[in-house]
Copies of this chain bind each other. A is one copy, B any other.
Amino acid sequence: MSVNTFGRLFRFTTWGESHGPALGAVVDGCPPGLAIDESVIQPFLDARRPGQSKFTTQRQEPDAVRILSGVFEGKTTGTPISLMIENVDQRSKDYSDVAKAYRPGHADYAYDAKYGFRDYRGGGRSSARETAARVAAGAVARLVIPEVTILAYVSEIGGDAIDMANFDASEIRNNPFFCPDAAAAKRWEKIVDDARLAGSSVGAVVECVATGVPAGWGAPLYAKLDSELASAMMGINAVKGVEIGDGFAAARLTGEQNADPMRPAEGGPAFLANHAGGIAGGISTGQPVVVRVAFKPTSSILTPQQTITPDGQAAEMFTKGRHDPCVGIRGVPVVEAMMALVLADQKLLHRGQVG
């Protein structure tokens, strides 16, 4: 099956392939009366846009978004918002080899196994290019949750982590890695460039913090805030792990170490820690919501790899094309978008049920 819709009350549906004429999203369930035009969405697409440094793919795409419906006189009308982004720099010839053999680590074999054939140009529907549609939809979602501030950054590349003592949010947009630690950003230049020059790739971890989420959002038990976030993040291309709060580290703590004690305070409790990442029982606690996402290294590398052809013959291939040496970097705006989309949905769900 194909399920290209995400969300329950605030929903979006994406469409499009890497090398088709365009891609897009239809955002449905957005409240009426929110001020919007293309300029509200474009900056988020610009942050994700390829070709902005030597550390990302050199495909040149303006990623100019166009609003085709759902907006009247500069405001959302409550009807579906159709967003379209034209593909400009698709060079299909780059991908002719991909038709003949499966790229290991990519979705090529799995799509063929499922559907019997595939649009092999640039990965077709499985290309990370689709995440542009998520980022556009996420920009709309942000309008629904003005009380929330979302900040994502790369916290680790190739196993080299930032030092939280150096954390400076204002650094994040100052380097090509969305890195909040200037010293780490410096080191990463070499790590990523070495990978790039070697035709190799490296993995990354992206952390995302949402502040301002009030206590009470979350739809237990099967659309818990954390399970929705897990679904949203694990569905991003190249993601292999998701943590809430302390995540796997919590499995190594004792109950005392993992406690988040509370003290009285104005407008809700003051928590003395946030091991839980702002979520208890699937419901937000009012603390910052913290998610950590693991991106594998890009599977497209220049080293020849053993593979097979669609008719089952042995083959060897390396991926030419234009690729990200560290796909996690451009994952940052996508992770932010998915956070916004989940929170917007949960806000509306909460308001619907509880009033």
Q: Is A44 an interface residue (CB 8 A)?
A: no
A283 within 8 A of B: yes
A295 located at the interface, meaning its Cβ lies under 8 Å from any Cβ of chain B in the complex: yes
Q: When the two chains form their complex, are residues A297 and B13 in contact, meaning their CB atoms are under 8 A apart? A: no
A295-338 Cβ-contact flags toward B at 8 Å (1 or 0): 11111110101111000111000000000000010000000000
Q: Which of A55-63, A99-107, A169-177 is the interface stretch?
A: A99-107
Interface size class of A (residues with CB under 8 A): 35 or more
Instruction: Determine whether A151 belongs to the interface, using a CB cutoff of 8 Å to chain B.
Output: no
Answer whether residue A250 sits at the interface, using C-beta atoms and an 8 A cutoff. Answer: yes
CA of A275 to CA of B261 in the docked complex: distance in angstroms?
38
Q: Is the CB of A15 within 8 A of B263?
A: no
Q: Judging by beta carbons under 8 Å apart, are B234 and A4 in contact?
A: no
Complex CA gap A5/B222 in Å reads 6
**Oligomeric state, in number of copies?**
4
* A241-B235 in contact given A26-B26, A105-B260, A107-B281 (Cβ < 8 Å): no
Q: Do the beta carbons of A283 and B26 come within 8 Å of each other?
A: no
Cβ of A79 under 8 Å from chain B: yes
- Known contacts A9-B353, A222-B5: does B14 contact A203 (CB below 8 Å)? no
Q: Which of A35-43, A65-73, A180-188 contacts B (4 or more CB under 8 A)?
A: A65-73
The residue that A77 contacts in the complex, of B117, B279, B280, with Cβ under 8 A, is: B117
Q: Are B219 and A110 in contact (CB under 8 A)?
A: no
A–B Cβ pairs within 8 angstroms, 12 of them: A2-B28, A5-B28, A29-B353, A70-B125, A109-B262, A109-B285, A110-B216, A114-B216, A125-B220, A126-B282, A251-B297, A351-B352
Question: A203-232 CB contact bits vs B (8 Å, 1 = yes)?
Answer: 111000000001111111111101111111
